[in-house]
Amino acid sequence: MSQDVYITRLSAFLPNQPVSNDEMEQYIGLIHSQSSKTKNLVLRNNGIKCRYYAMDKNGKATHTNAQMAAIAVEKLFEKHPEEINEMDLLTCGTSSPDQWMPSHAVMVHGWLKNSKAIEVTSPAGNCCSGMHALKYAWMAVKAGQSKKAVVTGSERTSRIMNNQSFEVEAQKLADDGENPYISFEKEFLRWMLSDGAAAALLQNIPAKEGNSLRIDAIEGVSYAHLAEPCMYSAAEKLSDGTFISYMDMAPAEIMEKSVLSIKQDTKLLSKYIVDLGSDKLIEMLQTHHLPAEEIDWFLPHISSEFFRSKMDEGFRQKGLVIPQEKWFTNLSQVGNVGAGSVYLMLEELMRNNKLQKGQRIVLAVPESARFSYVFAILTVV
């Protein structure tokens, strides 16, 4: 028999000190010793004021992705450290694992020396991977297969965005007599992404003290059959939208084309990201009998403040009106932490005592990689 599932605790870990817009290139560096031509334009549109990097100004790593996720997990149990041994499921979402093998979740588990032998899962993907992890844990607790499940969302993209990832390509362009500036699709995300981790504890009973969040529904959808890839890594995209995998390239070609960097087709992003996702969200709200006027908090994972008005306008055109005072994001202060962003928003709401019992919360996580979305409905209890 299925049972209710509650998020009873949330935690966050943001590495080192916040990095302002003016300091960014002191950390991620100048490409070919030249200041970016697009930096100020992108930052002006995305509204991000500071972000966090898991490295110092010399480009040396201070934390791995797995370490940050493990620290977030430990913070869930900091008041009662012995309880970490009661965790029976760990599911970890990220788009930037430290390695392709072993899986991200087992590496996180490896840092948790006070835990026991447990089930672990590592959903693949991008921003939605954090929500896929949440859904797996939700279903496990709901089915009675887990009593204390922990979910993490984390990213360490700063190292991928470091200038060293692009220097071979820039030098090759210069040697060929071309402008050594990297293409916009490759440089765009350098000014968007941030490092960090967050975690949530799921149980079949609410917390004895304070608020808990009952998970009422989680639904996802992919529109990959309608649109070509928009954000990608470890591949080269051809003019017809198909890919050449890094596995089919020579090592020199991988370096010369910065194939392992993260690329974003901003034209496709603007064309599809709002329109496709809004239909599923409206359908879900109708299915679960949640009128827009009964939504108390709307937490959209937006990569840029540029999309706030686009989302609002797109919703309104389809009859969904969620007033801006009900929207909550912390993008400007923590940056875009991909799979961890939705947890960081929830954690801040919970920590700052903004939630009241009975309130309804809607989470909206779009993923531009090939346009997939995950939405959730929560109730404060």
Range from 105-119, 142-156, 259-273, 355-369 carrying the lowest mean pLDDT: 259-273
- Torsion, Cα of 156, 158, 159, 162 (10° steps): 170
- The whole-chain average pLDDT of the chain stands at 94
Q: What is the rounded distance in angstroms from the CA atom of residue 271 to the CA atom of residue 359?
A: 33
Whether 183 shows a pLDDT value over 90: the answer reads no
User: Please, how many CA atoms are within 13 Å of residue 146, restricted to the half-sphere of its CB?
Assistant: 26
Quickly state the pLDDT bin for 368 (edges 50, 70, 90): very high
Q: Is the pLDDT of residue 182 over 90?
A: no
Task: Tell me how far apart the alpha carbons of residues 342 and 303 are, in angstroms, rounded to a whole number.
Answer: 11
pLDDT one-digit tens code per residue, 202-252: 999 999 999 999 999 999 999 999 999 999 999 999 988 899 999 999 999
Instruction: Tell me phi and psi for residue 15, to 5 degrees.
Output: -75, 145
Q: Identify the pLDDT of residue 29.
A: 92
- 181 pLDDT higher than 80: no
Tell me what pLDDT residue 116 has: 97
Q: Where in the chain is the domain with CATH 3.40.47.10?
A: 6-211, 216-223+264-380
Helices (H), 177-220: 184-187
Instruction: Tell whether the model's pLDDT for residue 62 goes beyond 90.
Output: yes
Q: What is the DSSP letter of 181?
A: P
pLDDT tens digits, 72-100 = 999 999 999 999 999 999 999 999 999 99
Q: Residue 367 — very low, low, confident or very high, per pLDDT cuts 50/70/90? A: very high
Confidence of residue 192 (pLDDT cuts 50, 70, 90): very high
For residue 1, pLDDT over 70 is answered with: no
Strands, sheet with 360-367, edge to edge from the N-terminal-most edge strand: 119-121, 89-93, 149-155, 196-203, 6-13, 213-222, 372-380, 360-367, 297-300
pLDDT in tens, 248-285: 999 999 999 999 999 999 899 999 998 999 999 999 99
Q: Rounded to 5 degrees, what angle do the CA atoms 12, 232, 55 make?
A: 40
Q: Is it the case that residue 180 has pLDDT exceeding 90?
A: no
Specify the CATH architecture of the domain 216-223+264-380: 3-Layer(aba) Sandwich (3.40)
Look up the CATH number of domain 6-211. 3.40.47.10
Confidence band for 177, pLDDT divided at 50, 70 and 90: confident
Mean pLDDT of 328-349: 97
**What integer is the mean pLDDT of 285-294?**
97
pTM: 0.95
Euclidean distance between CA atoms 57 and 39, whole angstroms: 18
pLDDT tier at 191, thresholds 50, 70, 90 = very high
Question: Does residue 186 surpass a pLDDT of 90?
Answer: no
**pLDDT at residue 333, as a whole number:** 97
**C-alpha–C-alpha distance, residues 70 and 309, integer Å:** 36
